[in-house]
């Protein structure tokens, strides 16, 4: 006797339901593909990189923070310190995989870049709509400031 015999409709309903549940469980068990780590042009150690000798004489040094993995991709910054003060912050790596990432970077990174020298620390506000990027930026900024001795 065949399992889907027409004289037993309840058996067909149970088998169809079991197949649907099994398929749903299998789909939910799949892990999303993660993108490979972003490779940046900076080949020096991310912990700290000092600037060239002529800048050291002027009291200028740079340090690159740790690359922080966020939900949307890595964030990493480089700081410039002159005379013991934070003068500039540059994003070395940030999520750029799709147009939405680029839109967020377009308004969040300039604001974060302005706030860090004004605060002279990593205690800066998150940018609304860019929470993950802001958190990664702050963590990498703190790492760079620690490396620079601030």
**What is the DSSP code string of the chain?**
--TT-TT-HHHHHHHHHHHHHHHHHHHHHPPPPPPPPPP-S--S-SS-----HHHHHTTEEEEEPPPEEETTEEEEEEEEEETTEEEEEEEEE---SSHHHHHHHHHHHHHHHHHHHHHTSS--PPPTT-HHHHHHHHHHHHHHHHHHT-
What integer pLDDT is reported at residue 44 of this predicted model?
44
- Domains of the chain by start residue, with CATH: 1-30 (no CATH), 53-148 (3.90.1010.20)
Task: Determine what percent of the chain is predicted with pLDDT higher than 90.
Answer: 9
Structure tokens given for 84: 């013991």
- In the structure, what pLDDT confidence band is assigned to residue 18 with cuts at 50, 70 and 90? very high
What integer pLDDT is reported at residue 48 of this predicted model?
42
24-80 pLDDT, tens digit per residue, is 888 777 765 554 444 444 434 444 444 433 444 457 888 888 988 988 888 999 999
What integer pLDDT is reported at residue 33 of this predicted model?
53
Q: Hey, which residues does 69 pair with through a beta bridge?
A: 74
pTM across the whole model: 0.59
């Amino acid at each position: 006797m065949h399992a889907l015999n027409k004289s037993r409709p309840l058996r067909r309903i149970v088998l169809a339901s079991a197949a649907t549940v099994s398929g749903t469980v299998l789909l939910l068990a799949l892990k999303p593909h993660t993108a490979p780590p972003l490779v940046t042009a900076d080949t020096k150690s991310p912990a700290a990189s000092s600037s060239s000798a002529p800048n050291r004489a002027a009291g200028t040094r740079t340090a690159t923070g740790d690359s922080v993995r966020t939900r949307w991709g890595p964030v990493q910054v480089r700081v410039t310190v002159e005379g013991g003060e934070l003068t500039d912050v540059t994003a070395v790596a940030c999520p750029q995989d799709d147009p939405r990432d680029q839109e967020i970077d377009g308004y969040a990174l300039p604001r974060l870049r302005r706030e860090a020298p004004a605060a002279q620390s990593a205690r800066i506000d998150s940018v609304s709509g860019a929470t993950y990027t802001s958190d990664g930026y702050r963590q990498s900024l703190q790492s760079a400031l620690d490396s620079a001795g601030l």
